[in-house]
A and B are shown apart, each in its own frame.
Chain A
Amino acid sequence: MARVVATPAAIEAVDRLRAGEGPVMFFQSGGCCDGSLPICFHDGEFVIGSHDVHLGTVAASPFYIDHRQFEAWKHTQLILDVGTGDPEGFSLAAGDGRHFITRSRVLTGPEQAALEGTGTPGVH
């Protein structure tokens, strides 16, 4: 059980990205325009604060979220996937003409209990 997982298409896209661009990181955005999308950066491009929450690691890449947003989202599992179209904001693309997206699944009671205590602050 993990707070964030990735589809095979997303894993393949991240692997290809890593091979071409080097290590990457994800930050789950929220609000406005491109909000609710996972933003993919070169690793270290986005400064992780001491209150940001590390949700997990997908395709060898760390995945973070704002701590306030974590409180509102923690009953759901995030599923990193790939959609059609260039990224609209500052994110790296998931391949030519493709972008990363986050799908969500509501966790069951036992799943939420199993994840209690995970999702820890700071850089990982």
Chain B
Amino acid sequence: MTAKKRVRIAALAVASTVGALLAACTSGASSSGVVEINYSARLTGVGDDADAAIVEAFNRKFEGTYHVNRTAIDDETYKTKQITQLTGADAPDVFYSWAGGRAKDIIDAGFAAPLDGYYSQRGWNEELNALGQSLATFDGKKYFVPTMMSSSAVWYQPDIFAKEGIAIPTTIEELEAAAAKLKASGIAPFILSNKEKWEAQFYWTQIVVAQNGPAVYNNLVAGKAKWTDAPFVAAWQKLADWSKAGYYYGSPNSIGYADSTIPWTKGEGAMDVQGNWFPSTLAGSDSAATAKIDYFPFPAASGKQSTMEIYAENTLMINAKSDKQHQDAAAAFVDYYVSVEAQAMLAKGGRLFPSNINVDLTTLELPKVMLKLAGFMNSQTGDTFMHVDLAFTAKIANEFLDATQGVINNTVTPAEAAKRVQDVTDQQ
């Protein structure tokens, strides 16, 4: 091969490498003045299509001005990707942020833009649920926009209750009596699908609040109490007792959330302490089931008043590191997301309830039970609380979830679980 040929080949190689790198670098460039923003969404298995539809509707409405690129991934992978997404190129301009401790992590890291300006400019102050707004406030500033208000309750099958002659429990003692009766009839009292680790916390948190009131739990969240204190150990103890009494369907730690619909539709389990998305999940597997399902608020200990958990979900943050133009575009997207039109789409898709107080729920073709729940949520005054996974930072929450899996399996004692979580808290 001649020298000239060699040089030519080398030059070609270098040129193509450089060209390729350049192409890679500039692949994110937008054209023709449309502001493109990246939206990072989390898939939950409920209403994912609605979320996608909202993006499409926004893109149509604002064609020529804004364009949203949506990326969606399941919950676990979303947690993995958040670090690299936020710190990398093509970072999302608007993203799902959780509430509580996890949101605080992001705020502390400097990725959450304070949104008070947009709140007043776009009227979110008036439109959005008051509780949601207060949850969005950290150190006096609002950092996310709640697009959904959720709650958790005890979902049950009324026909099973009727058949077994069980009345709706109003105290924990009655709840446990009902469970015993169901067990004696061969029906699993609770379907606890804890494979993904997150369901047991609903039970635990509700037990703490039911036995002690929300203030005790919120003290723990604020760091003014220890996990090893009696109220919390007692809650774990109850979970373990129920496990030993055989009140859970099958082996909770190996039943995934998606699986839980199956014993439900077969009538093999009677109750499930779950978020208000549960009927929507059920509808996916058996549309008739939502006509039959009902709920009752988790009963308090006798003499106390029960408090329902209500919290902000589907929370959206705007990336503080994006430039003003992209932040404004993101705000436009969020504004659309909380508009009555989009909120209706979201609610119909199963993500309940809309945070926009102007949405008329009766127009949404929701099952009656959901309307009833919404009414109850609105009527609850006074303090509420958030489940562990939301309220605490990732590290503490994860240790809690792991330890609780052990408690359910009876491989970890309540005292041990408490100590483990307290140790992680102390290490912060």
The answer to whether A and B assemble together is no
